[in-house]
Structure 1
Amino acid sequence: MVTVPKVSVIIPAYNVQQYIEAALTSLERQSLHNFEALIVDDGSTDGTAEVALSFCQRDPRFRLLSKANGGLSSARNYGIQQAQAAYIALLDADDAYEPEKLASHITRLDTEPQVGVVYSASRIIREDGRPTWLRLSGKPIHQQPLLALLCKNFIGHGSNAVFRRSIVDEVGAFDETLASSEDLDFWLRIAAQGHWNFYRQPQPLCCYRVRPSGLTFNIAQMQSCSEQVLAAAYQRSPEQVGPMLPTARAYLARYLARLALTAGKLAEATRLVDCALAEDASIFWRDPRSLVTLAAVRLAPLAHLFIQRSLGSVTPS
């Protein structure tokens, strides 16, 4: 008798030989056993496929899929096309799940049919896997998911969500033309439907790896893609999105300023904070995290050193 998996975990993998073992081991340790893990090797040139294959050879729940390099969205979509389960979980190959991640989210989806997407708070870990004091709470700043997502991607990162497979048929797959913000675009399309709830579990059930050695952000590209996503959201829901656009742009500029600061690009961070102030200065007194970003940019030399120490590097770049 063939057992259909309860959830299909999609793991896009490109040149992550150093990290993928931890990601896949975290799946082996799940309290929920009835899953399939679809590892999508997106044209890796290192030993990523070999590490993945070792899991496939000892555990039939793991499958290795190989394709030419096409980017993160392409790999996710390829995996979703092969998925057998009614639920989809996303796990980037350099992150990891806590043991109760899948079980807790699947229980929520099973018992609350109006919930389309479940996610949790996350722990931030260093490049070497050691924990930090940093957390992503995932708490939305608005009750309405659409308005909340316009300001912040409260799901936080690409390894956090478990959602219904049927939603892909309803809103479409990840947009492969976007170089970034493709996950935010996907969540916004779901929120625009108006009938799906997003459920947050406050426990940190994900480990999100931040790699200071890889902080080479293309701020201009990220800003362009994010503005494209906001424009598409406006086209879908102009009456809801229109009044929020200045605030959404302010939050976007604040977010990019934080990334620029983390990457040591002080002039860019300053420019972006000034843009946020011009769009909607109120975010800096209504949102404590925005105020922290503003202070950090104004006190950039000390702030950058603090960030680097927190994430595992002691030498400012």
Structure 2
Amino acid sequence: MKPKVSVIVPAYNISKYILDALNSIKEQTYQNYEALIIDDGSLDETPSIVEEFCKANQQFKLLKKPNGGLSSARNYGIDHAKGQYIALLDGDDIYSKDKLANHVAHLDNDPSIGVVYSASQAIRDDGKATFFVLSGKPLYKDILTSLLCKNFIGHGSNGVFRHCLINEVGNFDESLPSSEDLDFWLRVASTKRWKFYRERKILSYYRVRPSGLSFNISRMRKCNERVISMALERSPKLVAPILPKAYAYMFRYLARLSLTSGNIPQAREYINKSLSHDRSIFIQDPRSLLTLISVLVSPLTTLTLRGILGSNSAAKP
């Protein structure tokens, strides 16, 4: 039987986490799926672990390719996918057991829905839950405006979408080392044809891993600025009026990441840039106000975050 859903699992040097991800797929209440794990040139035991798992579970298939980055691995998996729907799951994250059943039902019941996603929760490196929850609620009624200001889908292990969208808007941009998922969702939103449906229940869990993300924040800024520029080129009349607010939210986000990684001077620099672009976001959006306050009391905030997430941790882009 042809699978209705293709779960795409990019995997690169995540031998410590990959079985948690694969078992969360195996335990789904919805079973008409194939799981394609794309080993992106791992140098650790990831491919051998996945290979053994696939031998015991016929719905799982290991695909190997040279290292090319996250978007390259996703695109490679999508190119081999047979499903009507595409589900994304990074190899260090986890699905709730009802994730696929819930999202497939919404896609089946409403042909105008192009993308389904849910609320999600951060887990520590050791798998323990934190109190950090992403509701996924858009900031504005207009989806394009909301995405420009905040990637409300939250992370790369949350969206389930119609396979046909790839033919309509293209694959993930392999030239973007980060923010590639936001770019994809913006392209879908720019069609003005497809609805984004939010499931309010927590059905995805994204792992906050120990890392030196602080050195990637400048790269993330460049990627975000490029994504905004490409959105402006596609829809100049729609995007141009939103630019000050979009940049204010971008710099607020970078300030939060800088704070989480322990770089207080950088966090203050970015929060000041956010204020200079549009101060109103700190009145309209409680999370933005919380970020501002957190930067103002930054030494205490940094210690608290490290206690919650584990030392040397950083927020996932």
TM-score w.r.t. length of structure 2? 0.97
For residues 42-121 of structure 1, what are the structure 2 equivalents within 5 Å?
A: 42-121=40-119
Instruction: Give, in whole Å, the separation in 2 of the partners of 1:106 and 1:249.
Output: 34
Map of 2:206 onto structure 1: 208
- 1:177 and 1:213, CA in 2 relative to 1: closer, same or farther beyond 3 A? closer
The question of whether the paired residues in 2 share the 8 Å contact of 1:38 and 1:65 is answered with yes
Map of 2:152 onto structure 1: 154
Instruction: Give, in whole Å, the separation in 1 of the partners of 2:313 and 2:65.
Output: 38
Any idea what SS the aligned residue of 2:34 has?
A: strand
Instruction: Give, in whole Å, the separation in 1 of the partners of 2:247 and 2:209.
Output: 27
- 2:227 corresponds, among 226, 229, 245, to 229
The question of whether the paired residues in 1 share the 8 Å contact of 2:7 and 2:87 is answered with yes
For residues 122-133 of structure 1, what are the structure 2 equivalents within 5 Å?
A: 122-133=120-131
Deviation at 1:214? 4.7
Give the aligned residue type for 1:32. Y
Map of 1:311 onto structure 2: 309
Instruction: Give, in whole Å, the separation in 1 of the partners of 2:119 and 2:255.
Output: 23
Give the aligned residue type for 2:244. P
- 1:34 and 1:72, CA in 2 relative to 1: closer, same or farther beyond 3 A? same
Deviation at 1:192? 0.1
Deviation at 1:218? 1.4
The question of whether the paired residues in 1 share the 8 Å contact of 2:99 and 2:204 is answered with yes
Listed as ranges, the gaps of 5+ residues in structure 2 are none
The question of whether the paired residues in 2 share the 8 Å contact of 1:305 and 1:314 is answered with no
The question of whether the paired residues in 1 share the 8 Å contact of 2:294 and 2:301 is answered with yes
The question of whether the paired residues in 2 share the 8 Å contact of 1:43 and 1:68 is answered with yes
TM-score w.r.t. length of structure 1? 0.97
CA RMSD, 1 decimal: 1.3
Instruction: Give, in whole Å, the separation in 1 of the partners of 2:63 and 2:311.
Output: 35
- 1:314 and 1:258, CA in 2 relative to 1: closer, same or farther beyond 3 A? closer
Instruction: Give, in whole Å, the separation in 2 of the partners of 1:228 and 1:133.
Output: 32
Deviation at 1:213? 3.9
Deviation at 1:312? 2.6
Give the aligned residue type for 1:179. P
Map of 1:39 onto structure 2: 37
Give the aligned residue type for 1:110. D
Map of 2:237 onto structure 1: 239
Deviation at 1:57? 0.1
Map of 2:168 onto structure 1: 170
For residues 274-289 of structure 1, what are the structure 2 equivalents within 5 Å?
A: 274-289=272-287
Instruction: Give, in whole Å, the separation in 1 of the partners of 2:127 and 2:279.
Output: 37
Any idea what SS the aligned residue of 1:36 has?
A: strand
The question of whether the paired residues in 2 share the 8 Å contact of 1:305 and 1:315 is answered with no
Map of 1:273 onto structure 2: 271
Give the aligned residue type for 1:259. L
Any idea what SS the aligned residue of 2:9 has?
A: strand
Instruction: Give, in whole Å, the separation in 2 of the partners of 1:31 and 1:310.
Output: 31
Any idea what SS the aligned residue of 1:157 has?
A: coil
Any idea what SS the aligned residue of 1:212 has?
A: coil
